[in-house]
Amino acid sequence: MDNRFILGITGASGVIYGVRLAEELLAREFEVHLIVSNPARVVLAEELGWDIEQEVVAACRQGIRGCFENGLFVYENHEIWAPPASGSFRVRGMIIAPCSMSTLAGIANGLSANLVQRAADVVLKERRPLIMVPRETPLSAIHLKNMLELARLGASIVPAMPGFYHKPQSIQDLVDFVVGKVLDLLEIDHDLFRRYEGGSSSGIKN
């Protein structure tokens, strides 16, 4: 259980966050049980150039670096019979990155219409860590209400809002900042960004 995570990639912009997180977890020899929604496959093609005509397992194994033997397990979202749908499938936690507003709403309202929703429902009921990385702007009152409800249920909401105090030089730096924040919540050591160490207060007025 201690080396196993569920990772959902859903149909919001920012699929690179999920792919990069998978790479970082695999590099540390964790098992990654990846669930890819149908809308996510379209975004993977649009944003990363993945061939969605391929069988999804082959596409993920080709697109995600560092897949050590037996480390990456891939499911499609309709496979409601897959292991992550069961509470007896013990995991260290689940991350949804990026998390679409549709997925967020479904989980907040207890739906289990697909594997991502069911796996998240199981993680919540078993009181295991659930981390959601929403990527949407602006946010409506409905979006905010659903995030508040999930936070009250124990989920961690990590909006894809990169910081700039570490002076990013590339898109990769911005992605790594958000992925690093997720790893922090999972209590996994990393050096994906330079941590804030305080600054000069000279010249600053109240």
Which domains does the chain carry? 4-185 (3.40.50.1950)
List residues forming the annotated binding site.
Answer: 11-13, 37, 100-103, 135, 165, 181
- Identity (one letter) of the amino acid at 75? Y
List residues forming the annotated binding site for dimethylallyl phosphate.
Answer: 165, 181
- Contact status, residue 86 vs residue 101, Cβ threshold 8 Å: no
List residues forming the annotated binding site for FMN.
Answer: 11-13, 37, 100-103, 135
The pLDDT profile of the chain, 206 residues, written as one tens digit per residue, is 579 999 999 999 999 999 999 999 999 999 999 999 999 999 999 999 988 776 777 878 788 876 655 699 999 999 999 999 999 999 999 999 999 999 999 999 999 999 999 999 999 999 999 999 999 999 999 999 999 999 999 999 999 999 998 899 999 999 999 999 999 999 999 998 888 877 655 544 44
Give the position of tokens 């679409």.
Answer: 100
- Contact status, residue 137 vs residue 168, Cβ threshold 8 Å: no
Q: Which helix (H) or strand (E) holds 27?
A: helix 15-27
